[in-house]
Structure 1
Amino acid sequence: MRSYSFLSFTIRMVLLTSVGFLASCSDHASSEKSAMNEEPINEEIRYETIRVTASRPVSSLNLPGELESYYETDLYPRVSSYVKALHVDIGDQVRKGQVLVELEAPELTANLTEAYSKVKAAEAVFGASKATFLRVLRTSRTAGAISPVDLETSRTKAISDSLAVVAANAHYSSVQQLVSYLKITAPFAGVITDRRLSPGAFVGPGGQNGVPILKIKQLDRLRLRIAVPEAYLGDIRRGGTVKFSVRSFPNQTFAGHINRIANSVRPETRSELVEIDFENKGGRLKPGMFASAQLPVSASGEGSVYVPKSAVISTMDRTFVLKIDNGKAVRTTVQKGDEAVGQTQIFGDLKPGDIILKTASEDIDDGATVKTQLVN
């Protein structure tokens, strides 16, 4: 009897424990489900906005440019000839007037000898006719000794022979000039940067006349050419100092002076060409190097506003920014001006203090409600 009562008590305890465990599990699951329903995930997108400013973003412009030799030229032959000797090669420093190339043309040498002989022959003929005219002139002083016709004939012959001497000398000088072209000299002091031909090559008309024999560049003086946007042309002054850097010397800054201004705006780029002179002492910088020039400009920008380039969208129909008005994105038509340092100058129904999207998107409809956050 006692064993039966003990068994019944044990069964009742097991059942109560199981029911309590199941009830707790059900309550835990119900609480998790209610928590998920009461705390929904916030998936709303917030767009970054900025406040439009009226001043130029920087007080100096970073403009790309290229270093060029102050003087550089290709050396071509001026007469048909053969390359006899090359006295210089790539990298050689040369002085003004130094003989760089010797050419040979036997026919020119023969022509020079022939022209010289014609000069001497003409001088001899003129000497004889002149002497004859002087004798006739002296004889004519005796009345009836020489007829006037003979005197005039003698005089005319002497004049004609003197002109023949002038013509012969002119021909000789022209041939002599051609012969002088057989020696190519340096037009200025510099360095040889290229050599295309070798001794024995035929050059001149009918030969390799399209290929220069040598290329020479001046290294001790360079010019840096930059294109300045139209909006900043009022800040350009002749003689102004401009600093620039090159990739070969990243930790150094070089300085030059504005020496030439084109005084003409290129319509395709709306910019003006400016040249900066640089005394290249030691020849550290080389022609052809790309440079980044810092051009000082005024920090004020009256009458215009500047926004990031990402805020402006250009389509086939128009160019616009997305202005935020009472929580709505309004497509506002603008016109683009100068672009520099990630900023774009714009004109339109926009004023300093207006709020626009920092990164505009065509996916946002005109008048769409957007959530925003100001980042500046």
Structure 2
Amino acid sequence: MRARSFLYPIIGAAGLLAGCSSASSSDTASDKPESEVPANSQLDAVYVTATQPAQSLSLPGELESYFQTDISPRVSAYVLRLHADIGDHVRQGQVLADLDAPELTAALNEAASKQKAAEAVLQSSRGTYHRLRQTARTAGAIAPLQLAQARTQVITDSLNVAAAQSHYNAAKQMTNYLHLTAPFAGVITERNLSPGAAVGTGGPGSLPLFKLRQLSRLRLRVAVPEAYVAEVHQGSPVEFSVKPFPGRIFVGRITRIAGSVQAATRSEQIEIDIPNAKEDLKPGMFASASLPITRPQSSIFVPKSSIVTTAERTYVIRIAQGHASLVDIQQGDENNGQVQVFGKLKAGDVVLHTGTEDVAEQQAVQVAVK
């Protein structure tokens, strides 16, 4: 009995020591950091590429009529008749409205009378001159001075007729302004006055009688940021879309480039001519244009998934001789899942396809290059 009781304390002490040893080992294991990337695991990697991709620049634009104008009277008058209204398609030279100005008609009649009177005086002086010439064939019948005076009178009356003719033409032109005509074929988009309204020669705040726009041909105006003006060229294709036709793509080509950067917006204006025979597109519509952009130098690209972004830095993980290196980069444009990067990288370098913060600097990593 004594021997058995003596063994119990020894066994208990051994168990206590074993328990302490196990607890100590457990604490040591928990303090040691565990890597989520096992040393013998194999990660996917890709080569860094250098390309000169054709990219597109998305910019807002606005559609405008190729030709548009306000049609206002050039004389003070009253609206007599209207021959066109809003929405009407008109042809070039078509009369849109007739105006009434009695004083202009009176001036034209007066000018016509003066012209006829001048022509009558000229006809009389010519007859006198011809008779004197006939009489002068008889020696001494007519003094040379009298014949010369008759000839001078004919010249003076001829000049009076020319002046009367010019005065009549001016008066006639003024009466022609009483008929407003379309300067080009298009659509009347506004009519602001009605028959009987008094109209004038225009001025600040005055409304035009009509607004005329050409719809069969439009201009798309786009402001290109200063950073891209060197990459925009005349004749380059441009695709654009408008909200009234979702999913439909319209195509044009750059027709005009302003050649000057506007100081207020730091952009250059370009224009794209758009055929619009069916008149689906309307002036004033906003468009989203896609301009082809080609960088003059090759750029370094990596997959978007390769980039690791933390609060302190943005980097990719380069693998060289089986070890990782964290390379700081700056991001540029993105194109089809590839991101333009700037940093200490070159074409042919190997980077992890999927970057992770679990890979440390100079950590041994096995990779399989895709």
Question: Do both proteins adopt the same fold according to a TM-score greater than 0.5, normalized to the shorter chain?
Answer: yes
Deviations 1:322-353 (A, max 9, x none): 7679xxxxxxxx9xxx9999xxxxxxxx7455
The match for 1:243 is 239
- The residue aligned with 2:117 is 121
Q: Which residue matches 1:175?
A: 171
Q: Which residue of 1 aligns with 2:180?
A: 184
Sort the Cα spacing of 1:272 and 1:96 in 2 relative to 1 into closer, same or farther, 3 A.
same
Q: 1:205 to 1:244 in 2, by over 3 A?
A: closer
**Structure 1 CA distance, aligned partners of 2:88 and 2:123?**
52
Give the residue type in structure 1 aligned to 2:138: T
Separation (CA, whole Å) in 1 of partners of 2:64 and 2:187: 13
Identity of aligned residues (%): 53
- The one of 77, 88, 91 equivalent to 2:87 is 91
**Runs of 5+ unmatched residues, structure 2:** 1-29, 32-48, 302-310, 316-329, 336-341, 347-356, 360-370
Separation in 2, partners of 1:67, 1:140: 79
8 Å CA contact 1:221, 1:278 repeated in 2: yes
In 1, Cα distance between equivalents of 2:50 and 2:260: 28
Q: Please tell me the root mean square deviation across aligned C-alpha atoms, in Å.
A: 4.1
Whether 1:144 aligns to 2:150 is: no
C-alpha distance in 2 between matches for 1:168 and 1:67: 50
2:241 aligned with 1:269, yes or no? no
The amino acid that maps onto 1:222 is L
Question: How far apart in 2 are the matches of 1:178 and 1:209?
Answer: 24
- Secondary structure of 1:125's counterpart equals helix
Deviation at 1:230, TM superposition (A): 2.9
- Length-normalised TM-score, structure 2: 0.67
The correspondence for 1:296, drawn from 292, 295, 298, is 292
Number of corresponding residues: 291
Matches within 5 A, 1:47-126: 59-126=55-122
Q: How big is the shift at 1:234?
A: 3.1
Q: 1:257 to 1:207 in 2, by over 3 A?
A: closer
Tell me the SS of whatever aligns to 2:154: helix
Question: Are the structure 2 counterparts of residues 268 and 323 from structure 1 closer, same or farther at C-alpha, using a change threshold of 3 Å?
Answer: farther
SS in structure 1 at match of 2:246: strand
Matches within 5 A, 1:346-365: 351=343
**Shift of residue 95 of structure 1?**
1.1
Matched, 1:219 2:238: no
Give the superposition deviation at 1:58: 7.2
Q: In the alignment, what sits opposite 1:163?
A: 159
Taking structure 1 as the reference length, what is the TM-score of the superposition? 0.66
Deviates most, 112-121 or 228-237 = 228-237
Moved over 3 A (4+): 53-58, 205-209, 299-305, 321-325, 338-341, 350-354
Distance change in 2, residues 1:117/1:132 (3 Å): same
Output the amino acid matched with 1:224. Answer: L
> Matched residues in 2 for 1:81 and 1:340: separation?
63
Change (3 A) 1:205 1:225: closer
